[in-house]
Amino acid sequence: MIPRQGHRWFVAVELLRRSSAGRPELGVGERLEAPGVAQLERARARGLSTAVLTRDRAFYGDDADWLVDRWIECDTVDPSAILAAIGPLGGTVAAITSTVDGFLGAAAAAARSLGLRGPTPDSPALANDEAALRSAVTSAGLAVSPWVSVSAGALALTSAVGYPCVVTPVDGARRWDAAVVADDHQLRELAARHARRDTYGRRVRPRHRLLVEQYVHGPRYAADGYVTEGEAVILAWSAQVMTLPPEFTEFALTAVRQPPTPGAGAFVGAALAAAGHDFGPFHLEFVLGPAGPVLTSLHARPAGPGAQLCVDHVAGVDTADVAVALLLGESPPGPPDEAVAACTRMYLVSHTAGRVREVSGVREVASIPGLLVAEVFTDVGDAIEPPGTPAGYIGHVLTVGASPEQARRRAAYALDGIRVDVEELQAV
């Protein structure tokens, strides 16, 4: 489709690429779309033309081509470059947004320059800097675990908050080079690995700084929703299960509508206000420590693929449609007509680096009651990594149930039926 002059444009600044089945035979159930791609589809349904700005067009291949009227390469971390790139589009720009950490602030600044709806630029929530976020939340009197920010290249690196501690990049959405470390040796090993990383993709270079924070014992949760007119609307609460140390990535989540503790809603609202997030979707994570909720992360965007589908199912709303409605000044949907009690996502992970020798069982789990999705992201011959980077996830299943326990049992049953045989790489 070639948009005509006078069209209204919905502009996305970068997209999150979803992991998908390694080949059609390795996936059953619904096709998952990343939040940004789903928003493009909802915008298209309203008659808008769609443009995606990116630093690296080749990064996306042809996965979202069917929803994108115009791809434009530009410096997507520079608001002035974004504004210059959309100038020749013609017609009217109705919305500029992003669903990808690292580009949220630039998109918000560009939107504000044109008088469009969006979160206030330059807030800690948009800084893509975990240290800046924690400083703001701490200044507001909310609980965060003791932390320091250090250079990944520092000599004789040690933890000022003791051990065990959680170590993640201050940028990169805590998805890269994350671990629970027990001593100086493990900390320095992780720091050296991160210092060698030269990109997060899309030609984005890491800052090579690490957040070192004290490990807080307690159950972990996420809250997902949106902010409108200064009020936080929480659509779902998710109980999270992390991989065992030294790895530190999400292994499973179960989304429900009920908060885990009576004060959780107030804590989420206060954290959003402290971080300056005043418009649009959010994904916030916290630990219920001995003294109450302790913030672990906050993202001014929807939950990622899979997790967003869990939120949709338990909330009974289309969160991508909500996001687009807010950006266009429409009223968000009212109370849900239909919702499930619980939705679980479990990941298939490998705990060693290696090469895939065989994959089986995906089609066989399709008949499990409540199964929404089962996918293996890798295929025979592919190299895989242990958890700690996005490449450490090799598959997932999503199930719904009449209770959290039923949804989790169904997910565990499905995951148990899938086999990915990995040949461990030999050290040289």
pLDDT in tens, 297-345: 999 999 988 999 999 999 999 999 999 999 999 998 776 667 899 999 9
Please say if the pLDDT value at position 8 is more than 80.
Answer: yes
Residue 427 predicted with pLDDT over 90: no
Residue 3 has pLDDT above 60, yes or no: no
| Distance, CA of 264 to chain centre | 21
Q: Which positions ≥6 away from 232 have C-beta within 8 Å?
A: 225, 226, 265, 268, 269, 272, 282
Question: Other CB atoms closer than 10 Å to residue 126's CB: what's the count?
Answer: 28
Average pLDDT of 94-123? 97
Reported pTM: 0.92
Residue 253 clears pLDDT 90, i.e. is over it: yes
Rg over alpha carbons for the chain, rounded to the nearest Å, is 21
| Among the listed residues 333, 338, 337, the one whose alpha carbon sits nearest the alpha carbon of residue 320 | 333
Cis peptide before 259 (omega within 30 of 0): no
Question: In the prediction, which pLDDT does 428 show?
Answer: 45
Q: 352-379 b/e with 16+ CB inside 10 Å = b?
A: eebebeebebbeebeebebbbbbbbbbe
Position with higher pLDDT, 98 vs 23 = 98
Helix (H) or strand (E) holding 411: helix 404-416
CA angle 97, 102, 105 (to 5 degrees): 50
Taking only the tens place, the pLDDT of each residue in 43-101 is 999 999 999 999 999 988 887 889 999 999 999 999 999 999 999 998 999 999 999 99
Q: Residue 343: what pLDDT?
A: 98
- SS3 label, residue 267: helix
Using the predicted structure, report yes or no on whether residue 5 has a pLDDT greater than 60: no
Question: What is the mean predicted confidence (pLDDT) over 241-266?
Answer: 92
pLDDT confidence tier of residue 426, bands split at 50, 70 and 90: low
Which of 3-7, 39-43, 127-131, 238-242 shows the lowest per-residue confidence on average (mean pLDDT)? 3-7
Of 32, 53, 175, the residue nearest 103 (C-alpha): 53
Distance CA 115, CA 285 (A): 31
pLDDT at position 230 over 60: yes
* Closest residue by Cα to residue 391 from 175, 229, 234, 220: 175
Q: What is the pLDDT of residues 146-202, one digit of tens each?
A: 999 999 999 899 999 999 999 999 997 667 888 999 999 999 999 999 999 998 877
What average pLDDT score do residues 236-265 get?
Answer: 93
